[in-house]
Structure 1
Amino acid sequence: MTDISTNDTAIYAVRLGDDALIHGHRLSEWCSNGPFLEEDLALTNVALDYIGRARNYLSYGAELLGQGATEDSLAYQRDCREFTNLLIYELPRGDFAFALARQYLLDEFETLFLNAMIDSNDDTLSAIAQKSIKETRYHLRRSKEWMLRLGQGTEESHQRLQSALGDLAGYTKELFEMDALELALLEKGVAVDRRALESQWHSAVTAMCEQATVSLPNQGWEVKGGRTGYHTEHLGHLLSELQFVQRAYPGCEW
């Protein structure tokens, strides 16, 4: 093991890797299930972007952790309570409006987050952000278009989008929370100050929702716990699929 400051950076990288891995898996569930072929392929490609991002973060985290850790061991050999992804990423796939509403909210956040991480004192995290921001700008452009199409479309598409935003609202607060580890890394110039992103995110989301004739409800409720390993029941079911082959055939390579 390395010193404690490097361990903190490893934990931070794994957190970001968990976010990307779990969301990438959720998006991959749309493969062959999209509403039409073009969107089926588009969602699958977005999923691949997240899986690639997860590999970058988890590989770096494993490198810092040492002791034989690899991106595969972090992805496939940890139990539910050991995962540290935020809860919004693990929620079930839902319908198409839910998937696109979640994607939009995350795209707005991740655009701000990755832009800030480019300035990280950690060269590897900065490099990952520089690569990932290009993908995220494209994701945001797509999800904005779908917010408008769904919100200004039929009565049913409008209702489904508004319902999805209501279901997601209470999970967004966790995106902007900083615990002791992230605060310590912020002082070192490594981590992003999530708190500083909330106002700009909220303004962008509010403006987009107004154009789409929907609204993100005020959070009368909040759900959190992902960073400390307290997850919804949905993560366990997701991991049973994600990890099946490695659990059934430990160490299998192909």
Structure 2
Amino acid sequence: MSDDHESIFDGLTGGDSAQWAFGTDFEDPLAGVDTTVPDGVGSAELAAYCLMLGDDALVISQRLTEWCSRAPDLEEDIALANVALDLLGQARLLLARAAAADPGVVPALPEGSPVPPEDALAFFRDAGQFRNVWLAEVENGDFAHVVVRLLLFSTARLALLERLSASADTVLAAVAAKGVKEVAYHRDWAGRWFLTLAQGTEESRRRLDAALGELWPLLAELVTAHPVELALARSGVAVEAAALRADVDAVLGQVFTVSGVPLPSDDDEPDGNRGGGRDGVHTPALAGLLADMQSVARAHPAGRW
């Protein structure tokens, strides 16, 4: 060890730890960005919309991290971890945007807590305060399950981000523009594996069909209009989810046709099985996920790492 450094850590960082993903002194992810709410737009509505999109990304990112060391091979293990990191980055920006638009959405924390607003939203809300869709939260199944979930989610997410890059809110537009390239990779990765499993063995096809049977009905929640989206869409800030359906069906139709898989019908399951996450109604799976994700932060709310 060099005499110039008291520890190996100091040598690695050169005395500047800002480049590393640990600690509690992170810079504001929106530092230097104009976070003024556009004229004629309600700050509460904008914050609610950002929570919807941010929670989707945060929760499915957490589900993907559960695949670390469990994928079929090292390359796919790393691929899933990278997808999770991409979505976690989107979640951080969107939750920060929600807090900047309406600080009232941020949970109250003990005095002196060093937790930034986006972390407070991630770690100190209860399940009923989350606004993610059910597709993001349901428990993991086998590898076919993660492929189908990611294909459905990323296809809808990409269609959304492509339109949201023209949002009247400059922060949302920038987040969306950055996310387009990331989510295009997510969709393509899932699409290639969908084809592989569909045309692989009888067992891989059986598992793919089973995953589709469980997850297809949950796609509807991502492409169904919500009052918050409708209000903001009129202001040019949000994208009406229902407007995404045609593009989503077109892309999935191509993937299914090439794979030799019949496109499921939306009439296969009753509406009651299609989710209510946008309004804080969740499956029991979300509470378990949050218990794991939030345990350290809640045990040490004033901790410095």
TM range (shorter): over 0.9
Deviations 1:158-195 (A, max 9, x none): 11111111111111111112222211101110000211
Q: What residue identity is the alignment partner of 1:249?
A: H
Q: 1:239 aligns with which of 290, 294, 297?
A: 290
CA distance in 1 between partners of 2:192 and 2:155 (Å) = 13
1:67/1:185 CA distance change after superposition, 3 Å: closer
Q: What percentage of aligned pairs have identical amino acids?
A: 40
Q: Which residue of 2 aligns with 1:33?
A: 70
- 5+ residue gaps, structure 2, are 1-36, 107-116
Superposition deviation, residue 4 in structure 1: 7.2
Q: Which residue of 2 aligns with 1:72?
A: 119
1:68/1:110 CA distance change after superposition, 3 Å: closer
Q: What residue identity is the alignment partner of 2:136?
A: Y
Equivalent residues of 1:162, 1:215 under 8 A apart: no
Deviations 1:1-52 (A, max 9, x none): x997011101111111100000000000001111111111110111111111
Q: Which residue of 2 aligns with 1:228?
A: 279
CA distance in 1 between partners of 2:97 and 2:174 (Å) = 11
Larger Rg: 2
Equivalent residues of 2:229, 2:241 under 8 A apart: no
Q: What residue identity is the alignment partner of 1:66?
A: P
Q: What residue identity is the alignment partner of 1:116?
A: R
Q: CA-atom RMSD, angstroms?
A: 1.5
Q: What residue identity is the alignment partner of 1:29?
A: E
Q: What residue identity is the alignment partner of 2:70?
A: N
Residue 145 of structure 1 pairs with residue 192 of structure 2: yes
CA distance in 2 between partners of 1:151 and 1:240 (Å) = 35
Superposition deviation, residue 157 in structure 1: 0.6
Equivalent residues of 1:166, 1:216 under 8 A apart: no
Matches within 5 A, 1:180-191: 180-191=227-238
Q: Which residue of 1 aligns with 2:302?
A: 251
Deviations 1:97-155 (A, max 9, x none): 01001111112111111000011100000000011111011112211111111111111
For normalisation by structure 1, the TM-score amounts to: 0.96
- 5+ residue gaps, structure 1, are none
Q: Which residue of 2 aligns with 1:82?
A: 129
Q: Which residue of 1 aligns with 2:7?
A: none
1:67/1:206 CA distance change after superposition, 3 Å: closer
Matches within 5 A, 1:93-172: 93-172=140-219
Q: Which residue of 2 aligns with 1:9?
A: 46
Which deviates more from structure 2 when the two are superposed, residues 212-221 or residues 244-253?
212-221
Deviations 1:37-89 (A, max 9, x none): 11111101111111111001001111122259300110000001011101100
Between Structure 1 and Structure 2, the one with more helix by share is 1
Residue 48 of structure 1 pairs with residue 90 of structure 2: no
Does the residue aligned with 2:145 lie in a helix, a strand or coil?
helix
Q: What residue identity is the alignment partner of 1:194?
A: A
Does the residue aligned with 1:251 lie in a helix, a strand or coil?
coil
CA distance in 2 between partners of 1:86 and 1:234 (Å) = 12
